[in-house]
Amino acid sequence: MNFEIVEIEEFSGDKGKFYSIMLEGDDDTLLDQFFDDNQQYEEDLKVIADQLDIMGSSTGCRIQFFKEHEGAPGDGVVALWHNRLRLYCLRFDNTCIFIGSGGYKQPDISAYQENPLLNAKARQMKAIAASINKAIIKKDLKVLEDGTLEKSDFLNLEI
Cα(102)–Cα(104) distance, integer angstroms: 7
Q: What is the edge-to-edge ordering of all strands in the sheet holding 3-7?
A: 3-7, 17-23, 96-104, 85-93, 77-82
**Should residue 75 be labelled a site residue for another protein when binding is judged by CB under 8 A?**
no
Which of residues 10 and 114 has its CB atom nearest to another protein in the complex?
10
DSSP state, residue 63: G
Among 12, 16, 17, 33, binds another protein (CB under 8 A): 33
Q: Which residues pair with 150 in a beta bridge?
A: 142
**Radius of gyration, CA atoms only, the chain:** 15
Minimum CB distance to another protein smaller for 87 or for 129: 87
Choice from 31, 87, 128, 135 touching another protein (CB under 8 A) = 31
Q: Which residues bind another protein (CB under 8 A)?
A: 4-7, 10, 22, 27-29, 31-33, 35-36, 39, 42, 45-47, 49-51, 53-55, 58-59, 62, 64-65, 82, 149, 151
